[in-house]
Amino acid sequence: MRPLYCIPLLLGLAGCDSSDQNFQPGVVEWMEWPAEVRAATPFEVRLLLPFPPCHQWVYKPRVGADESAVTFEPYFLVDRGEPVCLPTEQVHVSTFVPNFMLDTLGTAPGLATPSARTFEIRATADVYASAPSPGVSSPVRTFGNVIVRPTAPDTTLRNAGGMVVLQFDIEGCALIRPAGSYNPGFGIVLEDQADTVGLNWVFVRGYIHNAAVPVCGQTRVFHLESRN
């Protein structure tokens, strides 16, 4: 995993001293990971989550695993000082909107199993929960699964899931983009261009792969499996 002990913000570098910082749970909007991995071998997971605006902060990755799932529970240490935001009064529509979404990699621990098994991939998310689970700082949601094999995992697919919004490019091609992100570069072309109903602000699960026939001129596409 890439070391992320102190991450620069627009207004400077956040310090590593947590004495003047508050704890803030991370809300994971989107995740990507290998559909299959080798047993007892750590693997990388891509996480997109909004970071605290107008404050200096330090990102802290946190991940655990048990016999059924890998769970990511990242958090931020946020400076307690007065918030300082960039002025927005004179921002025009054509002005570039900064992306307040942290795009980072987390490392899942190796999962030991003598035969092929399926584990869930979970993360803290913005969902309703009547009461927090014991030892969990915020609600946890299942983003998908990973198949663990002792040998020869299929490395051609990447599972993915999260909250998305629907967008269309200038040619009318349908893409999904992680919710909360204003960066059009995060958009992924939908493999099924006819299946776009109800894809705004919805939680999806599926996989990313290289299509045999390009879709909207792109071979890297998202195959939608479920939405809710």
Q: Can you give the pLDDT at residue 38?
A: 98
Of 221, 41, 44, residue with least CA distance to 148: 41
The pLDDT value recorded for residue 87 is: 55
What pLDDT, on a 0 to 100 scale, did the predictor assign at position 182? 81
Instruction: List phi, psi (to 5°) of 8.
Output: -70, 140
Contact 186, 178 (CB under 8 A): yes
Residues 117 and 41 occupy one common structural domain: yes
Residue 142 resides in a domain: yes
Q: Which of 125, 153, 181 is at the close of a domain?
A: 153
Is the pTM higher than 0.85? Answer: no
Same domain, 101 and 148: yes
Residues 114 and 94 in one domain: yes
Alpha-carbon Rg for the chain in angstroms: 19
Half-sphere exposure in the Cβ direction for 221 (13 Å, CA)? 19
Q: What's the total number of domains in the chain?
A: 2
Residue-level pLDDT at 160: 98
- Residue 135 shares a structural domain with residue 183: no
Q: Does some domain include residue 3?
A: no
Same-domain status, 12 and 117 = yes
> In which residue are the tokens 């994971």 written?
28
- Final residue in a domain of this structure, among 101, 121, 153: 153
For position 184, what pLDDT does the model report?
80
In a domain, 74, yes or no: yes
pLDDT score, position 9: 37
Residue 2, in any domain of the structure: no
- Would you write out the chain's pLDDT as a tens digit for each of its 228 residues? 333 333 333 333 334 444 788 999 999 999 999 999 999 999 999 999 999 888 899 999 999 999 999 999 999 999 988 777 765 444 444 444 456 789 999 999 999 999 999 999 999 997 543 344 444 457 999 999 999 999 999 999 999 999 999 999 999 999 999 998 888 889 999 999 999 999 999 999 999 999 999 999 999 999 999 998
Structural domain that includes position 13: 8-153
Same structural domain, 124 and 172:
no
- Identify whether residues 80 and 188 lie together within a single domain: no
d(CA 51, CA 159): 24
Q: Does residue 147 form part of some domain?
A: yes
Q: Which three-class secondary structure string do you get for 151-213? A: CCCCCCCEEEEEEEEEEECCCCCEEEEECCCCCHHHCEEECCCCCCCCCCCEEEEEEEEEEEE
- For residue 109, list its beta bridge partners: none
In a domain, 170, yes or no: yes
Q: Are residues 132 and 42 in the same domain?
A: yes
* Confidence (pLDDT) at 11: 34
Note whether 149 and 93 are same-domain residues.
yes
- Residues 183, 148, single domain; the answer is no
Which of 153, 178, 198 is a domain's end point? Answer: 153
- Residue 1 falls within a domain, yes or no? no
**Pair (219, 146) in one structural domain:** no
Please check whether residues 199 and 130 belong to one and the same domain: no
**Both tokens of residue 176?**
């999904």
Q: Is residue 187 part of a domain?
A: yes
